[in-house]
Amino acid sequence: MSIPKSLTPEALTPWIESVWEDEIVPALEEYIEIPAKSPAFDPNWAANGHIDRAVALVVERCQRFAPDGMTFEVVRLEGRTPVVLAELASTPGLEDHAPVLMYGHLDKQPEMTGWREGLGPWIAVRDGDRLYGRGGGDDGYAAFASTLALKALERTGAARPRAVVLIEACEESGSYDLPHYIEHLSERIGSPELVVCLDSGAGDYDRLWNTTSLRGLVSGDLTVSLLEAGVHSGDASGVVPDSFRVARQLLSRIEDEATGEIVDDFQVEIPAGRRDQARSAGEVLGSEVAGKFPFHAGTRAVGDVPAEQVLARTWRAALSITGAGGLPALGDAGNVSRPLTQLKLSLRLPPTLEPRAAIARLEQLLCSDPPYGARVTFKADTPGPGWDAPALAPWLERALAEVGRTWFGAPTAHMGEGGSIPFMGLLAERFPRAQFLVTGVLGPGSNAHGPNEFLHLGVAKKLTACVAEILVRYTQRD
């Protein structure tokens, strides 16, 4: 393996640092201030124009430091969110080499409450290595880091493959527009044998983390109704069943309310290799598997064995209630038996469980034979498939080990993640020969989707260099 001397921490780190500070951080500060919420959270996204502003910003700022010959195009299909497609030809002699596909997204989750004083979703605040604000780490930085990694190869004179960078604007809504673009752009994308995704997590900020699996997601609206209109609770209670109690009974069909365990219908046999990785990750992280979350003093996590907690958040199904309807604000709550209760269900699925079959089973469990003959409906959102990475090719396994030590000074760690990136499952089906580098900056406290989200700039800079070196090793693979 021949790595240019100019592609070493001593030679490259000062330059990466300068481009990040002079170009990327200012761009991200401007990006954070754009409320480019995903279509699921901003149905009028097209008229509001925030996604288009974010798209224009990413293209304009990336062009400032992109390699010579790298082109950027905003591709639009009728009625769909746009994508940014950037293309860069290979160095001479590598024209027949399989391309690399690099992926990120620029749409964002909604505001969420609970931001610390002085912080906010659309306010960029720098505090040392932390850049606070919505979307910086999840994952507005990806377009900039991918472009800079390719520029690093040009700067160092290293050979590079043909590269395609695809940045979507619908990921936080389940990427339902993306398959249409993959089909539309299939000839330009080609048949990549390496996919680089920077939209994942990190167990800590001390090493490179390779994501080996992602959970799937089924979400939707559960509605339970027994009355045509609200009535006086003093008159009705005891006779009219409370719709919240009925909803609670229905949820018990899929979740043990005492333990949070989900019924076997939504579980799978966890592969032995993934159990081994969870054990290793648990040894590295210890109590920080749970300790990274902002628990109140005196509260505790589910379980106390780190390896089992890793599996619980990466390979086991889990239910969250992420929203509610039919419930007045506390200040408006009168003595009324409400006509209905609505709950937004978010059911995370094991990586290998088929999500559409899960939807059918979930609807059957919730809606069949409801208590008191209640009217029950479940309206499912577009499901997000999970993903279980293919076995690492020898070249990538070596590259991850060596690159992690070079740029982080610590062994690379491998672990599944609990979130969903629907694009990964789509690509795994379409490009069965592809290897995957799925990684990211979302470590302890970064709190993507929640208040006080931040991008760890130190990790993002090192990750940029890691990606650059892995691209070189891709061109030299066995």
Question: Could you tell me which residues come within 8 angstroms of residue 12 by beta carbon, excluding any fewer than 6 positions away?
Answer: 6, 152, 155, 156, 465, 468
Amino acid symbol at 318 = A
Which residue type is seen at 34?
Answer: I
Distance in angstroms (rounded) separating the CA atoms of residues 201 and 417: 7
Contact criterion met (CB below 8 Å) for 382 and 216: no
Considering only the C-alpha atoms of the chain, give the largest distance between any 2 of them, rounded to a whole number of Å: 83
Distance CA 357, CA 352 (A): 12
If pLDDT is split at 50, 70 and 90, which confidence band does 6 have?
A: confident
pLDDT at 423: 82
Q: Is beta strand 209-214 parallel, antiparallel or unpaired with respect to 413-417?
A: parallel
User: 161 to each of 4, 62, 69, 444, how far by Cα in Å?
Assistant: 16, 19, 14, 34
Within 13 Å of residue 308, how many CA atoms lie on the same side as its CB? 5
CB 415 within 8 A of CB 209: yes
3-state secondary structure of 207: coil
Give the separation between CA 205 and CA 130, rounded to whole angstroms. 12
**Average pLDDT of the segment spanning 326-331:** 96
How far is residue 172's CA from residue 106's CA, in Å, rounded to a whole number? 9
Beta strand 387-388 with 209-214: parallel, antiparallel or unpaired? antiparallel
Amino acid symbol at 399: A
From residue 407, alpha-carbon distances to 188, 230, 412, 466 in Å are 32, 62, 10, 7
CB 9 within 8 A of CB 465: yes
Specify the pLDDT at position 194. Answer: 97
Q: Quick one: tokens of 204?
A: 């800590």
Percent of the chain whose pLDDT exceeds 90? 95
- Kindly tell me the burial class for residue 308, based on how many C-beta atoms sit within 10 Å of its own C-beta (0-12, 13-18, 19 or more): middle
How far apart CA 393 and CA 98 sit, in angstroms, is 15
In the chain the domains, ranked by start, together with CATH numbers, are 9-214+386-475 (3.40.630.10), 216-278+314-380 (3.30.70.360)
Choose between 349 and 5: higher pLDDT. 349
Tokens standing for residue 442: 């979302």
Percentage of the chain beyond pLDDT 70 is: 99
Q: Report the distance separating Cα 418 and Cα 179, nearest Å.
A: 22
Name 438's bridge partners. Answer: 197
pLDDT at residue 37, as a whole number? 98
d(CA 311, CA 318): 11
Per-residue pLDDT at 422: 83
pLDDT at 478 over 90: no
Instruction: Convert 214-245 to b/e letters by CB count within 10 Å (16 or more is b).
Output: bbbbbbbbbbbbbbeeebeeeebeeeebbbbe
Dist. CA 452–CA 462, nearest whole Å: 23
Residue 133: what are its φ and ψ, rounded to 5°?
Answer: 135, 155
Which helix (DSSP H) or strand (DSSP E) does residue 468 occupy?
Answer: helix 457-475
pTM as predicted: 0.92
* Closest by Cα among 356, 354, 340, 378 to 251: 378
Kindly report the number of other CB atoms within 10 A of residue 19's CB atom: 21
pLDDT digits (tens, 9 = 90+) for 14-38: 999 999 999 999 999 999 999 999 9
CB 177 within 8 A of CB 80: yes
For the chain, helix, strand, coil in percent to 5 are 40, 20, 40
Span 361-373, pLDDT tens digits: 999 999 999 999 9
C-alpha 207/C-alpha 204 separation (Å) is 7
Residue 1: per-residue pLDDT: 58
Q: Which two tokens stand for residue 315?
A: 């390979």
What are 377-429's pLDDT values in tens digits? Answer: 999 998 989 999 999 999 999 999 999 999 999 999 999 999 988 888 888 88
How many residues can be counted in the chain? 478
Tell me how far apart the alpha carbons of residues 16 and 13 are, in angstroms, rounded to a whole number: 5
pLDDT beyond 90 at 193:
yes
284-328, pLDDT tens digit by residue?
999 999 999 999 999 999 999 999 999 999 999 999 999 999 999
Separation CA 25–CA 74 (nearest Å):
22
